[in-house]
Structure 1
Amino acid sequence: MRNKEAVNKEVMVDEKGLRILEIDPWLEPYKGDLEMRMSRYEGVKKELLGENKSFKDFANGHDYFGFHRTNTGWFYREWAPAADALFLIGDFNDWDRTTHEMTKKENGIWEIFIPGKGTLKHQSRVKVHVVHDGQGKDRVPLYVTRAVQDPETYDFCGQIWKPYRNYKWQDAGFQGDKSKEPIIYEAHIGMAQEKEAIGTYKEFEENILPRIKELGYNTIQFMALMEHPYYGSFGYHVSNFFAASSRFGTPDELKSLVDKAHDMGIRVLMDIVQSHAVKNIYEGINEFDGTDYQFFHSGEKGTHSAWDSKLFNYGKREVIHFLLSNVKYWMEEYHLDGFRFDGVTSMLYHDHGLGTAFDNYAKYFSLNTDVEAVTYLQFANELIKEIKPEALSVAEDMSGMPGMCLPIEDGGIGFDYRLSMGMPDYWFKMLKVNDHDWSMQTLWKELSAGRPGEKRIGYVESHDQALVGDKTLIFSMADKEMYWHMDKESQNMAIDRAVALHKMIRFITISMGTEGYLTFMGNEFGHPEWVDFPREGNGWSYKYCRRQWSISDNPLLRYEDLKHFDGAMVQFMDRKGMMGVAPEQLWLDENRKIIAFRKKDHIFIFNFHPTESYANLEIPIHRDGKYKVVLDTDEEKFGGFNRIAHDIKYEVHPLDMDPNVKGISVYSPSRTAIVLKKL
């Protein structure tokens, strides 16, 4: 490795690399910027790899740095270019800061060989004493694959993880069903249990995986897997990039969890955080070699003002190597099926998108754009596909950067999907509007709008909408009534409205045309409490840092009805291959609050009117046939009023509105969604 910045080397761009202009002609004025994007991608790639190497060959930092056992002993290596001296310390030498001095090699690399295979024992604890400008600090090794916290001092240190027997994977050949778009269950291991304590990998495997399988979700997205010192950060202030969080269990237990998910046919994604890092010095990578610029930008540029964290220098060769090695390590060590990249907007722009309204294309191609971050994301996506072609990558980007989810060879950044972050914002704004004033045109526009050729993950609420200080969708609608009227025998108009809209909003979001869908654990059944991690302000309580699964299993409560509908909805969309299928016909009626559309041989009808039911709602079909209701939100088992018959056949006939138009007439109750299938 050379201690130098990766150069922005200009190379010629083939016209085929700008297919993005054919996909989105509105980008034509920014052709030069797109050419620069591809030129920089090719130039830096050549600088890093040379002529023949792949990113898979390049991203092997974890195989060289850190601790590695041989037949005769252990090698330990670090990259610390500005350090004056390094000393390995730990259980094995009684934490003596003088006995095991490391040797400085070329390019800022330090190395030590410790004779004897048993010198560093499984689960022994280690640190490295780093000296810079006469000052020494005990640090957690950069590439350590396990970090543990002392329960009394709360101090983190590295731990050797070399069990007598390596974990034996059982998922040989698992790829997931590549034909199925992702229906994602977003989950947090620690708060996934009902007990008022931190849950474990093993408990999730035994208690929660079967629930996810039963509901029909085909993908799990795990949050907070990367080690982080503060539990309440939701895992977003990462300290040890190669270590799975030890507060949830051991590496082998996480592997078993992934293995079991694969056995159930469920893909596993990880919420990977490479947009920033925790600023803590003793737990994390900040100032490891004594400088603030080893991994990050120096000074103010290297600090995120809103997140109080450190910002990577994506133009530095060694940083690219570290982060790409991180991607490869998680995929190969834990058999992950891809990632959701957190904080992509923050990476893309020098102002991190804070306060910027991305209301025209010029905002994406200005001096505010961090082109080094764009290039890094292209590299990361290329590496992911090299390792596992069927793997998925999802971008958390609220800016809507053009080309985010187009292939790199077409001028894109290479993600498979972007999170449609405007959808939950839209829904929560709608709840503040009187139901009679909901606009069907706006609803259609908000849920169907997207970049041409780019896939989206639609959702109503993720973990963001469940955090303390905010309210979940159902809590926004029902508020305190949830505490008194969620039993099935209770009569309450606020609860009836909340239950009906909870189902309709989710169903139209998943069915409108997005290619993927996501929900946060527990929200599928209308979890009554927000998420609040233990902190000083709540007496370090875990009361709101858990999921109350028992209420969704209680046959006397309406949470069970919502759970049953969510499972039916997910399985219907997945089984019928409806995900990502664009509507072929659309009918809107603003006055009657109706949205209807056809997908394949199914007709979806949504009646959002708060009070009006229509005995003979006419839907123009323009083709002969018979239809039958196959799913509706008003079924009694889904907490509805059972107003819709499933045994009636609706035959296409000339409509009263216009005898020259053929269609069907159906009963459409208020606040109800219906799906009819052509027989």
Structure 2
Amino acid sequence: MEQKRLKVLINDPWLDPYEGAINGRYSHALYKKSELTNNGKQTLSEFASGYLYFGLHRTKDGWIFREWAPNATQIYLIGTFTGWKENEKYALKRSENGNWEIKLPADALHHEDLYKLKIYWIGGQGERIPAWATRVVQDNTTKIFSAQVWSPEKSYEFKVKDFKPNTDPLLIYECHIGMAQKEEKVGTYKEFREKVLPRIVKGGYNCIQIMAIQEHPYYGSFGYHVSSFFSASSRFGTPDELKELIDTAHSMGVAVIMDIVHSHAVKNEIEGLGNFAGDPNQFFYSGGRREHPAWDSLCFDYGKNEVVHFLLSNCKFWLEEYKFDGFRFDGITSMLYYSHGLGEAFTHYDFYFNGHQDDNAICYLTLANDLIHQVNPHAITIAEEVSGMPGLAVKFE
């Protein structure tokens, strides 16, 4: 059966010479989607639910914790509850596909306990923050980061259930939570909600774009050197305070989108994913493609299904858990090209189809856009892209 001609080709005849390449990218996305969803036996949204499986979760009678660490030989959960020492009661067991798991009784962990993983691998060991941690805090004295159990007696309940952004037109106010106040200090979610949000509404905006708030070790990075992708930065307050900010914005008719950073990750090993279980390439490309030449950071391996699962689950997590209305994807140009777009002029369509593009990254972004609108059909997706890649923002057919 002959493939129906794509709308992007119909709408732009200048793309005719590149029809083969465009169809190839489309077919790649269809193939990968079929592979990830077991030939459509589950939806992409169901596939992208890793955050409900991995990490720390309450159960009916206790706790369960899971981590993906195929290179590990032994893992312990350590923390304030073990005196930061290894204890066999907190030893994880290896299961299938490089996953590790531990089940604990209800009194083994408590709200606001600090914890990490002590991971052993052939030839080494190290303390690590869990990759799927949803709360990470920094000690004010030692400046050491740790994961934190976040399980309050009463979780925040959103008052606005079904918010639909007003996009006709969409008037976006870009903001940074920590810098959005006049005092010489780091601002908070609470301060932003009480002091800044009303002024934004008064100014006529109907959307705020929150600059990178995924947890990051270095504040001077403005939040763009991410270490913990599922954690809202504790510098600005608690998860519940961020949820209340978003809920309040919705009650005022204001959509909330976040800068999501999937274009790279911080190099840090103890706080981040740089050498998670003795494998520097668990999440990242190997060889010369591992490090970003201009950003002093690491580049995700978008060709690895486990990494795609991690990143797609991250998109769904922020939509479902915090009710964000969409994303502005940071650094897209860097993802699209082997050169990261550095030193290229992009003065002709040839530059978009000359074989210097990362097809894995293009496929991931296609699936991410598809997933986001599967989870929330009214979601807003924006690409920070400076090369002008044709068809980048076209809806996936």
Range class of TM-score, shorter chain: over 0.9
Matched, 1:306 2:294: yes
CA distance in 2, matches of 1:316, 1:27: 30
Question: Is the partner of 1:152 in helix, strand or coil?
Answer: coil
Matched, 1:362 2:350: yes
Q: Which runs of 5+ in 2 are unaligned?
A: none
CA deviation after TM superposition for structure 1 residue 94, in Å: 1.4
* Letter matched to residue 307 of structure 1: W
Residue 113 of structure 1 is matched in structure 2 by: 103
Identify the match of residue 404 of structure 1 among 379, 392, 396: 392
Residue 364 of structure 2 is matched in structure 1 by: 376
Q: Which runs of 5+ in 1 are unaligned?
A: 1-11, 410-679
* Letter matched to residue 378 of structure 1: T
Query: Percent identity of the aligned residues?
Result: 52
Question: Is the partner of 1:318 in helix, strand or coil?
Answer: helix
Correspondences of 1:412-423 after superposition (within 5 Å): none
CA distance in 1, matches of 2:291, 2:209: 28
* Letter matched to residue 201 of structure 1: Y
Matched, 1:293 2:281: yes
Identify the match of residue 59 of structure 1 among 48, 53, 65: 48
Correspondences of 1:34-183 after superposition (within 5 Å): 34-52=22-40, 53-99=42-88, 100-115=90-105, 117-178=106-167, 180-183=168-171
Correspondences of 1:505-584 after superposition (within 5 Å): none
Question: Is the partner of 1:84 in helix, strand or coil?
Answer: strand
Residue 282 of structure 1 is matched in structure 2 by: 270
Residue 352 of structure 1 is matched in structure 2 by: 340
Correspondences of 1:627-666 after superposition (within 5 Å): none
Structure 1 runs of 4+ with >2 Å offset: none
Is the Cα contact below 8 Å between 1:13 and 1:38 reproduced in 2? no
Alignment: residue pair count: 395
* Letter matched to residue 134 of structure 2: T
Is the Cα contact below 8 Å between 1:341 and 1:395 reproduced in 2? yes
Instruction: Identify the structure with bigger relative contact order (alpha carbons < 8 Å, sequence gap 6+).
Output: 2
Is the Cα contact below 8 Å between 1:280 and 1:286 reproduced in 2? yes
CA distance in 2, matches of 1:31, 1:82: 42
Q: Per-residue CA shift, 1:479-519, capped at 9, x if unaligned?
A: xxxxxxxxxxxxxxxxxxxxxxxxxxxxxxxxxxxxxxxxx
Question: Is the partner of 1:372 in helix, strand or coil?
Answer: helix
Is the Cα contact below 8 Å between 1:75 and 1:113 reproduced in 2? yes
* Letter matched to residue 82 of structure 1: N
CA distance in 1, matches of 2:364, 2:164: 26
Question: Is the partner of 1:121 in helix, strand or coil?
Answer: coil
CA distance in 1, matches of 2:109, 2:181: 35
TM-score using structure 1 length: 0.57
Residue 214 of structure 2 is matched in structure 1 by: 226
Q: Structure 1 stretch 213-222 or stretch 68-77: which is displaced more?
A: 68-77
Question: Is the partner of 2:60 in helix, strand or coil?
Answer: coil
CA distance in 2, matches of 1:336, 1:147: 20
Question: Is the partner of 2:10 in helix, strand or coil?
Answer: helix
CA distance in 1, matches of 2:80, 2:310: 27
CA deviation after TM superposition for structure 1 residue 13, in Å: 7.0
Structure showing greater radius of gyration is 1
CA distance in 2, matches of 1:339, 1:407: 15
* Letter matched to residue 269 of structure 1: I
Is the Cα contact below 8 Å between 1:237 and 1:277 reproduced in 2? yes
CA distance in 2, matches of 1:131, 1:299: 24
Is the Cα contact below 8 Å between 1:224 and 1:245 reproduced in 2? no
Q: Per-residue CA shift, 1:547-605, capped at 9, x if unaligned?
A: xxxxxxxxxxxxxxxxxxxxxxxxxxxxxxxxxxxxxxxxxxxxxxxxxxxxxxxxxxx
